[in-house]
Each structure stands twice: as C-alpha cells, then as structure tokens.
Amino acid sequence: MLQRSLIAIAAVVMVLGGTACAQLAVSPATEAYTPEVGQPGKDVVWVPTPQALVDLMLDMARLTPQDRLVDLGSGDGVTVITAAKRGATARGIEFNPDMVALARQRAEAQGVADRATFEQADIFETDFSQATVVTLFLLPSLNMRLRPILFDMPPGTRIVSNSFNLGDWEADETGALAESCPSFCRALMWVVPAKVAGTWEIDGRTLELSQSYQRLHGSLRNTMSMRALDEGRLEGARIRFSIGEDRYVGEVSGETMRGTVNGSRPWQARRTTGS
C-alpha cells in the first residue's frame, strides 16, 4: 500500500508540478523559502492540498468558530489559515522548520495570526487531545499509526483526511471534487464514537454490547428471552439501535445512557461491566 501511495504521489507531482509551484511562488522580498512539490519530509514527500479540497474537508467537518482544529503535517499552512478565516482556533504541527516559518508569514500576511498558529514538532510526540477537529494528508502507514490515538479522542471529535483512509475504521462520510482535479480529490470524515462495549442494565434487563468503531452488535435479555440488537451505530456520543420493532435513540455520558424508544417512551441504562 505504501509503495502504491508513493507512486501516486510521484504521478501527481509530474501532473501538477508546474501549476502547484506557480501557485506557491512568492516574492523573494517577502518570503525567501519556496517549497517544491515532491520535496522529501520526515515521513512523506510534500504535495499541496488544493484550496477547493481544503474547503470541502472543512465543510464536511462542519467547522464552526467554536472549534479547535489541529492539522497534522500542516505544510504551507493552507488548511490552518482557511480554518482561522472561518473563525476557528487553528493549530498546525509540522516537522519542517522552513515550512513552519512560511506558514507563520502567510498567516500574518492574511491577518489571522491570532487564530492560526504553527509549531515545529513531530506529530507522534505532540499532544493534540484538545482538538475538536483533526485534519491530515498522510500516507496510509502513518494514518494507521495515528488511528489508536485518534480513536481515543473525546467522542464527537471529527477527523478529516485528504484521500487516505484509516484501515477498517469505516468513514462516516466521503466527498470528492467533481471537476478539474486529476489526483488526490477525495476527502473522508470520521466522528470519534463513544466507547460502549460491555454489559449494561437497562430497565431491569441486560444489554450486552460489542463495538467495532462506530458499529454496534449485541443483545437484550431478561430471565425469559434474548433478542438480538440490530442497526446499532454511534455518532460521537449519539447512539441508536433497534430491538425487534423498538427503535432506541439516545446519548452516552460516561457510564450511563438515556434517550427515547420510538420517539416517546424514555429509556436509560447503566454500565455494569466493561469500559
């Protein structure tokens, strides 16, 4: 997979190199450093994300001024600066110090340096747990290293990736640029789910839940019968599942859940084992 990804990046460098470099060219009087498409970095080569895809990624994340965005491998800063222009507090983590300096200059020039900050650091050695939105354009191997960190972020955190997935963690939403995009045209978005695997007591019955990321399986039983759970799914702290003709929706808050059955009757549950 890594070899295929590197070949794809090499191809897009050949296709987009002239255009991308032209877009990134700056006046030597104001910015001495000009990155080159395909230049090597710590773990990846650098390929810029088109502004249209940045906009799509932030739209998919439903970014608001109340959000705290972190861009892992922030490069020339376009995602962080765009998020700051939308009113969010945005932070870029980038290993290349020249890229960091360039991004800071651009944030200052575009009047968002108070909301768009950049630091030279290793993404695997940096705490970004306070982010409500995480963006990334990394190779699949790096995404897989990040996956356990991302999955342990607070429920409701949105993760948006340029092109590459998170293995068997299925994306909650995908989008693509429809026109004038020869490569790396896709965005994938995940919402970190609450952790609900275990045994729950629900209205005098026992609810057994197993979890594979946002998908749920399990059963509801009492002393007389057991019924399988169907259509179980999480979106952040929101949970839904069906038991026979009854459709449960609700919210998870730590060791408790509560909501309504069929839109009217209230239900609540307490975890007794598991975490």
β-strand pairing of 256-261 with 265-273:
antiparallel
Q: Which residues of 75-106 are buried (b: 16+ CB within 10 A; e: fewer)?
A: bbbbbbbbbbbbebbbbbbbbbeebbbbbbbb
Residue 164 has a pLDDT of: 95
249 and 264 in contact (C-beta within 8 Å)?
no
Q: Which two tokens stand for residue 204?
A: 């005098």
Q: What DSSP state is assigned to residue 156?
A: T
pLDDT at 4: 40
| 87 φψ region: left (φ > 0), alpha (ψ -120 to 50), beta (else) | left
pLDDT in the model for residue 48: 81
Q: How far apart, in whole angstroms, are the C-alpha atoms of residue 165 and residue 193?
A: 17
**72 DSSP β-pair partners:** 93, 136
Tokens of 275: 């975490």
Residue 27: the pLDDT is 36
What local confidence, expressed as pLDDT, does residue 218 receive? 95
Place of tokens 């109340």: 66
Residue whose structure tokens are 């990046």: 9
Give the pLDDT score at 12: 40
Report the C-alpha gap between 224 and 56 in whole angstroms.
51
* pLDDT (0 to 100) of residue 42: 59
Helices vs. strands in the chain: H and E counts, helices first: 5, 15
Phi, psi of 31, rounded to the nearest 5 degrees: -140, 110
Regions in the chain scoring below 50 on pLDDT: 1-30
Dig out the tokens for 21 from the structure: 């470099």
| Amino acid letter for position 93 | I
Q: Are 119 and 146 in contact, with CB atoms under 8 Å apart?
A: no
